[in-house]
Amino acid sequence: MYKIVYSGVYLFMMNRTNIEIDENLIAEIQSRSTLKTKKEIVNQALKELLNQLKRKELRSLAGKINWEGDLDSMRELK
C-alpha cells in the first residue's frame, strides 16, 4: 500500500514535445540574443506570440467600450 502525501508542493504542467525546428533560425537567435537554449527560445517565442494575440484582441475592442469619466479630475488625484 502506498501513501501519498502533499506537503505544499505546487504542480504545474509541462509536457515534452518533439518538434522540428529550423536550426538556422535557432542559431541566428542564439547569436543575436541572450537566449542560449532551444527551450528558452521556444518559450520566449510562445510568450511573445501570446502577447501579440492579446494585444490584437484588445485592439479589436477599440470604439466598442463606452467609458464615462473625467480624466482631468482623475489626474489631479495623483
Query: In this prediction, what percent of the chain has a pLDDT beyond 70?
Result: 81
Q: How far apart are CA 36 and CA 30, in angstroms?
A: 5
Helix or strand run (H / E) with residue 41 = helix 38-60
- pLDDT digit string, tens, across residues 11-46: 666 788 889 999 999 999 999 999 999 999 999 999
This prediction has a pTM of 0.63
For the chain, the 3-state helix, strand and coil shares in percent, each to the nearest 5, are 50, 0, 50
Q: What cell does 40 get?
A: 528558452
Residue 39: per-residue pLDDT: 94
Q: Can you give the pLDDT at residue 9? A: 55
Phi, psi of 39 (to 5 degrees): -60, -45
